[in-house]
Amino acid sequence: REAARVWTRTIESPSVLQPGDATEAAIAGRDCADKVVDGAVAESLYREGRFYGLSLLQNAVCPEMVKLMRADSLKLHQLGRLTPSGDPDEPQLSEQYKKYFGSLPVLTILKPEDAAAEGLLGLAFGGSFLSGLCLRIGELTGQTLEPGTLQLACYDGEGVSYQVHEDYVPKEDYDPERLPEHHRFSYKRRITIILYLQDQWSEGLGGAFRAHAVRPEGEPDLQNFVDVLPDGGSLVMFRSDMPHEVLPTFGQRFALSMWCHAG
Ligand SMILES: O=C(O)CCC(=O)C(=O)O
Ligand SMILES: [Fe+2]
């Protein structure tokens, strides 16, 4: 039954040699993208269905590279570079705030070349991998898709969640005065790709990615949503206008996301 809602494929992740420098990391990322996406994966994103082509590719990246990306992510997190809005100058949430209002996901917008310049070869690989996926999906389906924003997010336990939303926002709803810079191109988003970076995840830690067939009003009907666990190396891909959310998370959960923009 689930299979009819989430298109799922589990692959044997292509082995990647530990990159020695930024150029090698970028080449390895692109190469890995070309190996994991074939015509069937690309088409799965455009199949008809209530879940807007929700697709899951398990084991897309080998555990060694997932580990390297997670180590880089943790480094940035420990340096305080991840913030609720993604603005690196924004202060970290105070304990006081968390106590009264609860915690929030934190994030940063990455440029693969900056990651490379900082010696974060895992994230340089990841950025190139996700950009490569975007280009490859475009090529295989005859659409013009351009790599857009690359986001690293951390849901650091404490019940942190993200309410139902769509990643695509129509241009007329866009308010340049109030949205942070990286939201400026939300109207261009067509496909969202998310790569999870956990080592081991279990259902007890919550944090599922929940996809909705329709935007729920109140409690959603069981038929109208599907949950995907954020297992390390899993890639979730979907049309950016599909409603989705992240359920309360009780473990450290890192995700690297790419929004593929309309060309
Ligand atoms: O991390 C996830 O599973 C989804 C996050 C999300 O929906 C977003 O950042 O827009
Ligand atoms: Fe989202």
Average pLDDT over the chain reads: 93
Q: What are phi and psi of 116, to 5 degrees?
A: -60, -45
CA nearest ligand 1 atom 8, residue: 167
pLDDT number for residue 141: 95
Average of pLDDT values for 79-89?
90
Nearest to 183 by CA among 146, 224, 151: 151
Domain 2-262, CATH among 2.60.120.620, 1.10.357.10, 3.60.130.10, 2.60.120.10: 2.60.120.620
Write the single-letter amino acid at 86: G
Which of 160, 231, 257, 259 to mutate to test ligand 1, by most ligand atoms within 8 A of the CB atom? 257
Tens of pLDDT, residues 206-250: 999 999 999 999 898 899 999 999 999 999 999 999 999 999 999
Atom of ligand 1 nearest to the CA of 151: 9
* Ligand 1 atom nearest to 105, measured from its CA: 9
- Residues bordering ligand 2, an ion, CB closer than 5 Å: 167
pLDDT by residue (tens digit) across 182-204?
Answer: 778 899 999 999 999 999 999 99
ipTM: 0.99
What mean pLDDT is predicted for residues 128-140?
A: 97
- CA triple 139-143-145, angle to 5 deg: 85
> Rounded CA gap, 258 and 125, in Å?
13
Predicted local distance difference test score (pLDDT) of residue 4? 66
**CA-245 nearest atom, ligand 1:** 7
CA distances from 185 to 208, 237, 243, 263 (A): 26, 19, 18, 12
CB 90 within 8 A of CB 182: no
pLDDT digits (tens, 9 = 90+) for 141-185: 999 999 999 999 999 999 999 999 999 999 888 776 776 777 788
CA of 236, closest atom in ligand 1: 3
Task: Ligand 1: list residues with CB < 6 Å.
Answer: 153, 162, 167, 194, 209, 244, 246, 255, 257
The pLDDT score that the predictor gives to residue 55 is 97
Domain map of the chain by residue range? 2-262
Give the pLDDT confidence score for residue 2 in this predicted structure. Answer: 47
Of all protein residues, whose CA lies closest to atom 1 belonging to ligand 1?
255
Token pair belonging to 15: 């082995």
14 with 60: CB under 8 angstroms?
A: no
